[in-house]
Amino acid sequence: MEVFGVRVAGLTVEDLGRLRCVSAWALAEELIGEETWLAAEGWALSEVLYELIGRGIPPEAKGSLVALRRAVHAGRRPPNQALQFVPDQIAARVGAWLVRLERCEELTARLPEVLADDVAASMHAAGVGR
């Protein structure tokens, strides 16, 4: 199979290389990794919590555990009181999940600024807008 390229707007390969948004790309890759882990662990925790809910727990615990299960399954922060009814081992997993959720939120919040900085630096390096 033959591959060919077309140069548009007279930019050289070197100029195109300077237009890369390296920091934003790295941040986006890290974010994808975090989101992938959160989804997988959220699903696994949801299954563990489903089994826990089905074991005949006290009535006052059921609402909190159901809310916790729904939150981790959907990738949302659970209500604060939800962890009081889970065994320590599950609470530790949920705690680790929450740390990664917070990291994901931080990365998401930083991405627009990092992308803007990358674009500005790329445009400057390529001599665009001078």
- Return the pLDDT at 11: 67
- Return the pLDDT at 13: 72
Q: Is 14 inside any structural domain?
A: no
Read off the tokens for 109: 């919040």
Q: Is 130 inside any structural domain?
A: no
Contact 22, 114 (CB under 8 A): no
- Return the pLDDT at 12: 72
Q: Is 88 inside any structural domain?
A: yes
Residue-wise DSSP of 87-129: -HHHHHHHHHHHHHHHHHHHHHHHHHHHHHHHHHHHHHHHTTT
Q: Is 16 inside any structural domain?
A: no
Closest CA to 95 of 111, 107, 83: 83
Q: Is 2 inside any structural domain?
A: no
Number of H helices, E strands in the chain: 4, 0
Q: Is 102 inside any structural domain?
A: yes
Q: Is 59 inside any structural domain?
A: yes
Torsion sign across C-alpha atoms 7, 11, 15, 20? negative
pTM comes to 0.80
Q: Which domain holds residue 84?
A: 40-124
Q: Is 17 inside any structural domain?
A: no
Q: How many domains does the chain have?
A: 1
Q: Distance (Å, rounded) from C-alpha 118 to C-alpha 130?
A: 17
- Return the pLDDT at 129: 60
In the predicted model, residues of the chain with pLDDT beneath 70 are 1-11, 15-16, 126, 128-130
